[in-house]
Amino acid sequence: MNWYLESGKDSDVIISSRIRLARNIKNLPFKLKMTKEDKKQLLEKVKFITPSIGYGLTFFYLKDIDDLSKMTLVEKHMISPEMALTKEEEVAIVINEEENICIMINEEDHLRLQVFSSGRDLQNTLQLAIEIEQKLDEQLGFSCTKEYGYLTACPTNVGTGLRASIMVHLPALKMTGNLSKVLHIVNSFGMTIRGVYGEESKSKADIYQISNNQTLGMTESEIVANLENITKKVMEQERLARKYLTKNSDELEDRVYRSYGILTNARKLSSEESENLLSDIKLGTDLGVIQELDDNTVKKLMLYTKPASLQKRVGTLLDANQRDKKRAEVIKQIIKEKNE
């Protein structure tokens, strides 16, 4: 099973953990200054060493991946929307079958190594990322100085080149009116909190991404420890808000079962509407109010109701109206599979 369909530690609130390392190769210009030949040279180097790195990694030129598959990778947060839409030919990814490791090549930096895990698991995710990074460094040689650490195309990544992030589901804080207060506290501790696809002010399905701001003057372990501490505090506040909501159980049960009723009986559902309904349903499932589903089923529903992943599952391209109809059908199929 792919990591994004599994349950992890504290997965009632923490959806996923990600470690991303930005790296550039010595004696090669940064991406903006690279010629076509430079980019081709980098791709050939990475392609050549990929089998020796291990972890079941496979090299793919992005030009050989169809547009729908690229968009499914965006929906899983494995590549950036900018990378999926690029017209450049000298772009590639290295990925494993479980899709918990994905290296973007010639995106903003020469390499952006990403490792993912379900739930709250930053420490193990960091350990695996560093393990892979060291193997790559041995064969490629990364650009690094004693004074500044790893050199990157964007100055905000200089130092460790590390961006650690946690995806959190915070519906109860929103329902109780405490979300903005908690988001403000997170920002005041030097962290960035954004919507699921990077929006600053809003989030679909009450899902937010918390990540570090500082990359210079701290070690990788210190950055991850700080993010862990902030995440624990946010998680505690969300669980307190959920406990408060359960005191008025009639209102909570009515809300989540109304969402469940619409989701399971609708003949057409837009992507945005299904995301909002699934936020309520995940909350109800995690609190034990909704007995008909479990966490793994909710994860499947959250993935396969997204536009590209939906079309990939059914194996055909659909227009917006067709997607809305097919989405309602797929939801029923997934719930039926769970009960069989």
pLDDT single digits (tens) 197-241 = 555 445 567 999 999 988 888 899 999 999 999 999 999 999 999
Give the pLDDT score at 264. 95
Q: Lowest-pLDDT range, 14-28, 120-134, 185-199, 204-218?
A: 185-199
Tokens of 170: 């915070």
Kindly give, in sequence order, each residue whose CB lies less than 8 Å from that of residue 155, ignoring residues fewer than 6 positions away. none
Residue-range domain boundaries for the chain: 3-241, 249-339
Q: Does residue 10 surpass a pLDDT of 90?
A: yes
Q: Does residue 335 surpass a pLDDT of 50?
A: yes
Give the pLDDT score at 201. 41
CB-CB contact of 94 with 57 (8 Å):
yes
- Give tens-digit pLDDT for 83-119: 999 999 999 999 999 999 999 999 999 999 999 999 9
The mean pLDDT value for 140-163 works out to 90
Count how many Cα atoms sit within 13 Å of the Cα of residue 186 in the half-sphere of its side chain. Answer: 28
CB-CB contact of 119 with 14 (8 Å):
yes
Give the pLDDT score at 200. 46
The mean pLDDT value for 137-156 works out to 90
Q: Does residue 134 surpass a pLDDT of 60?
A: yes
CATH architecture entry for 3-241: 2-Layer Sandwich (3.30)
CB-CB contact of 104 with 37 (8 Å):
no
The mean pLDDT value for 275-287 works out to 96
What are the φ and ψ backbone dihedral angles of 287, each rounded to 5 degrees?
Answer: -90, -5
The mean pLDDT value for 308-328 works out to 97
Give the pLDDT score at 197. 56
Give the pLDDT score at 120. 96
Residue 339: pLDDT band with limits 50, 70, 90: confident
What integer best gives the mean pLDDT of the chain? 93
